[in-house]
């Protein structure tokens, strides 16, 4: 997979040389190229920002350097890009929320281009222009909070996507068991333990050393359901009742959730008589 990142703080992307991502790059599984937006300015101060039309606080990134920088990146496609061109990702607090499902979609792409905004973001015409040229533009948000720029989001998205590429994570089976995996019905993962069996008076649940694989699987499923119900009930709204056994439904009912039109929602409170 080829990844191009345009930023005014290329040093921010240095962690992409470390750990599994660094190894994937060394093995040729991932080709990351960082480009300096300021190379595409033409004034003495290498200006990339200006005040917003209509007034208001803060500065916006000007469209001209972005147009030049992105045109240069798009003019140099990887050999295996296919006909669709890249997905242009613009990290922004007003984007769609970046989830594991989005990571899975992006992992199937041969080429991702990131445009890292700073200040109050990038002039809205930049995304509009590349959309009008047929580029698939996705504005993505890490969550409901505001960062100083898109670079941290690039680190997050590249790590989440690259670990899904074949050969990046040693044991591919582990990916299917993780929190948020579709194979795991999008649930949070069950609690996990390693040796010693007893630590500071806390014991590992006996079922995990029972050797009864069926009982272990049932315990883990129950824990995943209870944890998700208590911590992230919003995820239960997307849990397909058709994929839930009678035992699953009983656990969720104990936690106060019953099937509704889409997934599972809070059980209606009893009507007082």
The count of other CB atoms within 10 Å of the CB of residue 215 is: 13
Q: Is 103 in the site for ligand ADE (CB under 6 A)?
A: no
Q: Which of 85, 86, 91, 263 binds ligand ADE (CB under 6 A)?
A: 91
The count of other CB atoms within 10 Å of the CB of residue 257 is: 22
The distance in angstroms from the start CA to the end CA of the chain is 63
Six-digit token pair at 146?
């505001």
**Of 37 and 153, which CB lies nearer to ligand ADE in the complex structure?**
153
Q: Is 145 in the site for ligand ADE (CB under 6 A)?
A: yes
3-state secondary structure of 170: coil
Q: Is 89 in the site for ligand ADE (CB under 6 A)?
A: no
> Which of these ranges, 5-13, 77-85, 141-149, 187-195, lies near ligand ADE under the rule CB under 6 A?
141-149
Peptide bond preceding 196 in cis form (omega within 30 of 0): yes
Taking alpha carbons only, the member of 60, 20, 32, 56 closest to residue 174 is 20
> Which of these ranges, 44-52, 86-94, 125-133, 262-270, lies near ligand ADE under the rule CB under 6 A?
86-94
- Tell me the closest approach of the beta carbon of residue 150 to ligand ADE, in angstroms: 5
Q: Is 6 in the site for ligand ADE (CB under 6 A)?
A: no
Six-digit token pair at 162?
């690259």
Q: Is 143 in the site for ligand ADE (CB under 6 A)?
A: yes
- Tell me the closest approach of the beta carbon of residue 233 to ligand ADE, in angstroms: 22
Six-digit token pair at 147?
């960062």
Binding residues (CB under 6 A) for ligand ADE: these are 91-93, 141-143, 145-147, 150, 153
């Amino acid at each position: 997979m080829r990844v191009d990142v345009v930023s005014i703080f290329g040093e921010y992307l240095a962690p992409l040389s470390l750990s599994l991502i660094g190894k994937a790059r060394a093995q040729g599984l991932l080709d990351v190229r960082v480009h300096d937006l300021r190379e595409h300015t033409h004034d003495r101060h290498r200006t990339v920002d200006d005040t917003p039309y209509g007034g208001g606080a803060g500065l916006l990134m000007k469209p001209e350097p972005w147009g030049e920088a992105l045109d240069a990146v798009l003019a140099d496609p990887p050999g295996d890009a296919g006909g669709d061109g890249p997905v242009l990702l613009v990290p922004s607090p007003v984007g769609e929320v970046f989830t594991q499902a989005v990571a899975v979609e992006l992992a199937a792409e041969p080429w991702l281009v990131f445009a890292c905004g700073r200040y109050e973001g990038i002039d809205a015409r930049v995304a509009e222009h590349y959309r009008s040229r047929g580029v698939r533009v996705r504005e993505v948000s890490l969550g409901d909070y505001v960062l100083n720029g898109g670079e941290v989001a690039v680190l997050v998205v590249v790590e989440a996507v690259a670990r899904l590429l074949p050969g990046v994570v040693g044991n591919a089976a582990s990916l299917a068991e993780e929190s948020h995996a579709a194979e795991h019905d999008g649930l949070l993962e069950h609690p996990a333990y390693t040796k010693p069996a007893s630590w500071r008076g806390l014991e590992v649940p006996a079922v995990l050393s029972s050797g009864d694989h069926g009982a272990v699987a049932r315990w883990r499923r129950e824990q995943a359901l209870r944890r998700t119900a208590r911590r992230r009930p919003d995820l239960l709204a997307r849990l397909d009742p058709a994929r839930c056994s009678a035992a699953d439904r009983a656990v969720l009912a104990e936690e106060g959730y019953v099937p509704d039109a889409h997934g599972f929602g809070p059980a209606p409170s009893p009507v007082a008589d």
